């Protein structure tokens, strides 16, 4: 029972550190990543708790979706290439 707080602290710290390192921004929550890492490591409970709380209250953690690929017929560059190939075929076949 005495180990439970220690295990919770270790779990929170490891989770917060992994989340900071994997965050796509260089300045998550308006501080550099290095500052967050130091806060989490040097201020027990408060650092990891602050990171987790700010991430939960900070809104969506979803990364923006990349644009969907265009179908070949919708790609303007492909249409230009296709028209050029058709023109060459017609000129070469006559």
- How does pLDDT run across 19-49, given as a tens digit for each residue? 999 988 888 888 899 999 999 999 989 999 9
Both structure tokens of 13: 């710290």
74: confidence class by pLDDT, cuts 50, 70, 90: confident
Would you give the DSSP letter of residue 92? H
**Residue 48, CA distances (Å) to 7, 30, 80, 82 in order:** 13, 16, 55, 56
Q: Which residue has the higher pLDDT, 2 or 71?
A: 2
93: confidence class by pLDDT, cuts 50, 70, 90: low
């Amino acid at each position: 029972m005495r180990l439970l707080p220690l295990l919770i602290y270790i779990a929170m710290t490891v989770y917060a550190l992994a989340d900071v390192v994997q965050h796509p921004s260089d300045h998550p929550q308006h501080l550099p990543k290095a500052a967050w890492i130091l806060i989490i490591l040097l201020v027990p409970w408060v650092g990891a708790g602050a990171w987790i709380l700010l991430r939960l209250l900070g809104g969506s953690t979803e990364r923006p979706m990349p644009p969907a690929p265009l179908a070949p017929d919708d790609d303007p560059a492909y249409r230009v290439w296709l028209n050029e190939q058709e023109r060459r075929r017609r000129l070469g076949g006559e």
